[in-house]
Amino acid sequence: MDTESSSSVEFLGKVPLLHRLTSSSLKKIAQVLVFKRYERGDYVVRRDDEEMEGVYFVLEGQAQVLGSVGEEENCSEFLLKPFDFFGRGIFGNVYAVDVVAVTQLTCLLLTSEHCHLLETKAICDSDNERPLLERILYMDPLDLNVFRGFTLPNAPALGKVFGGQFVAQALAASSKTVEFLKIVHSLHACFLLAGDINIPIIYEVSRLRDGNNFSTRRVDARQKGKTMFTLFASFQREQQGFDHQESNMPHMLPPETLVSRDEMLQRRMTDHLLPRYYRKKVATQYTAPLPIDIRFCEPNYSTEQTKKSPSRLKYWFRARGELSEDQALHRCVVAFASDLMYAFISSDPHRKKGMSAVPVSLDHSMWFHRPLRADDWLLFVMVNLTASQSRGLATGEMFNRKGELVVSLKQEALLKETVTSKPILDAKL
């Protein structure tokens, strides 16, 4: 991208109307913008023009909007300043006003033939060719700071909204309210109530702070008037500074040589050396492949009924399908994937026969250190630090294939123990 296009993208990222668009959409718009310059008193558009050229974004200077020509005393007037917009393509093709430059004026014009780039697809119109995760993370804008998310039929869920979906959708909603050049560097989430997978989720974003280099957002996820989940996220403009890394990626076999999680589950469902009730349980819970491809570095084929598992877990993961270039999207996808198995690491050391632990995420924190790609392999290393008072704390690190630490994580989970009796074999199978 050349310097002019890069500057245009930075400008577009500050236009509130365009916060709902992805960075890849802004880049496409920037590549087709036309610079238009006007002297004071020049008409930019006239109400009687049969065809409007497109959408104008005020870059420099000011313009006056007149409700009618020749009737100054009756017309509605207001000034258009940098980051304001006018023209067709946003609110239809009819534009019944005149716009006049009141100073030297520079606008960026998105011509009519390219106005489709301003559109966002409704969830029902989502392209089925797009990766499932991109469709899960689609946020339907209801207002400037209010978005609606959905739980798709093939999204991960066990009777309730998956915690990673809350984190990722809330992060996606907050990302749409900040400048394009500011990317999330940390988030802190609290899970309050279980979410209903059958109704939409309303995400309300509070703009807590907007500085030159940092922005802070709070997001409340609501259903039926109740707050189900809260997220705080901080965004930073890219800055040069000190760079070092003390944490080293453990040496593991490459993911291409490892068995996928789906294949492991298929084996468990058909391995007759495992108890029948366990095979039946796995078959019942396994509904569809996850949108994340997972490859365990040290596969453990024991069941929760047979022996304890170590307090460490390492696996490679990546999103299924190729994602767009939007770095904000990649970080949302990683946030989604981070909660898939994180809570279980705290209960694994306590496995014993006749006991089933159901961990529930309480709070979840992430720090993003370096750019990453969620559709390329990342190594997730989790360590269970402690468990006490029915709560377990785990820490985690994510590395790219070059060994760079890209994300650090911590999560506290509620560890619920349910004692089950020996299963009764049902002859009517």
pLDDT in tens, 296-351: 998 765 555 545 556 789 999 999 988 988 899 999 999 999 998 776 777 767 66
For residue 365, indicate whether it is catalytic. no
Start-to-end C-alpha separation, the chain: 62
Picking from 10-14, 78-82, 206-210, 352-356, which range would have the lowest pLDDT averaged per residue?
Answer: 352-356
Mean pLDDT for the stretch of residues 381-405? 93
Classify residue 390 as left (phi > 0), alpha (psi -120 to 50) or beta: left
* Distance from C-alpha of 94 to C-alpha of 47, rounded to nearest angstrom: 9
Residue 407: per-residue pLDDT:
98
Q: What is the mean pLDDT of the chain?
A: 82
Q: Percentage of the chain surpassing pLDDT 90?
A: 47
Phi, psi of 390 (to 5 degrees): 70, 15
The yes-or-no answer on residue 2 being catalytic is no
Using DSSP's 3-state secondary structure scheme, residue 188 falls into: strand
pLDDT tier at 288 (50, 70, 90 boundaries)? low
pLDDT score recorded for residue 3: 63
The greatest distance separating any two alpha carbons of the chain, rounded to the nearest whole angstrom, comes to: 90
Q: Is the pLDDT of residue 354 over 80?
A: no
Pairwise pLDDT comparison (97 vs 95), residue with the higher score: 97
Q: Phi-psi region for residue 183, left (φ > 0), alpha (ψ -120 to 50) or beta?
A: beta
Residue 97: name the closest of 114, 110, 118, 80 by CA: 80
β-pair type (140-143, 146-149)? antiparallel
Angle between helices 261-270 and 276-285 (to 10 degrees): 140
89 burial (CB, 10 Å; 0-12 / 13-18 / 19+) is: buried
User: Using 50, 70 and 90 to split pLDDT, how confident is the model at 70?
Assistant: very low
Q: 148: pLDDT confidence band, cut at 50, 70 and 90? A: very high
Cβ burial, residue 157 (10 Å; 0-12/13-18/19+): middle
Mean pLDDT of 363-391: 94
pLDDT at residue 379 greater than cutoff 80: yes
Q: Read off the tokens for 343.
A: 């809570």
The pLDDT assigned to 271 comes to 62
Query: What local confidence, expressed as pLDDT, does residue 429 receive?
Result: 34
Which of 340, 400, 344 minimizes the C-alpha distance to 368? 400
Catalytic choice (84, 326, 339, 348): 339
266 is catalytic: no
Tokens of 119: 């559109």
Question: Does residue 125 surpass a pLDDT of 50?
Answer: no
- The pLDDT confidence band at residue 399, using thresholds 50, 70 and 90, is very high
Q: Which of 223, 305, 361, 375 is catalytic?
A: 361
